[in-house]
Amino acid sequence: MNKLINYFAVVFYLFFSSNIQAADHSVLNITADDFVIGDADSPVTIIEYASMSCSHCADFHNETLEDLKKEYVDTGKVKFVFRDFPFNYPALAGGMMMRCVPSNVRYDYMNALYKLQKSWVMREHKDTRSELYKIMQSGGMQQEEFDACLSDIDLENDLLEGVMNAQREYNIRSTPSFIVNGVLYSGNKNIKEFRQIIDKILSQ
């Protein structure tokens, strides 16, 4: 089955078959599978839903995230959770790759893929795979590991289920979207906008 067809087949299945399960698992619950930076006891939790092929998501990661990390994450004020919300095959493939690298280097890999986004996000799936592998190979990933990661149906389904849960609970339709202490903020935000949101919460 073509990967893109499989993508929509899984989305269709999840939408109609997991209502009961979703009711028991709010997206606000942080799990062991989540990619998180910051102190677990931070007073502010930001959950980002991003598509790795999205230019606005790249803008956030390239222009704002590091300032946000220095000012709020590294100082114990914010716990930041990264979640995938893939809209197309390149985003799905990139998100899967991030699940297949060690957690201690995932932050660096993720930011590298956003910085190099234009070099690996391609119209043709084979071109995306080829260019994405070049980047992953530069960090030490072997071809067998790369192929196994992209062929992991359980991982793919897990990512797509996360998309459906976010749509169902918060009606997320665009990326990036940020849930800050339970409140949804859609669209890219610069550091000044984040300061306003976070500082207001911290002052309460």
Each of the 204 residues of the chain gets a pLDDT tens digit; together they read 455 545 544 444 444 444 444 445 799 999 998 999 999 999 999 999 999 999 999 999 999 999 999 999 999 999 999 999 999 999 999 999 999 999 999 999 999 999 999 999 999 999 999 999 999 999 999 999 999 999 999 999 999 999 999 999 999 999 999 999 999 999 999 999 999 999 999 999
Residue 111 CA: distances (Å) to CA of 62, 89, 92, 134? 7, 19, 16, 16
Report the candidate in 27, 181, 198 with the shortest Cα–Cα distance to residue 189: 198
Q: Which residue has the tokens 């073509």?
A: 2
Domain coordinates of the chain in residue numbers?
3-15+59-198
Residue 125 pLDDT: 96
- Distance, CA of 141 to CA of 125 (rounded, Å): 19
Domain covering 3-15+59-198: architecture: 3-Layer(aba) Sandwich (3.40)
CB atoms within 10 A of CB 25: 13
Residue 7 pLDDT: 52
Residues with Cβ within 8 Å of residue 197, at least 6 apart in sequence: 180, 185, 189
Residue 85 CA: distances (Å) to CA of 98, 176, 199? 13, 9, 27
Mutual orientation of helices 153-170 and 3-17 as an angle, nearest 10°?
50
Residue 6 pLDDT: 52
- Cis peptide, bond prior to residue 90, ω within 30 of zero: no
Residue 18 pLDDT: 45
**Cβ-contact 105, 139 below 8 angstroms:** yes
Is the pTM higher than 0.85? The answer reads yes
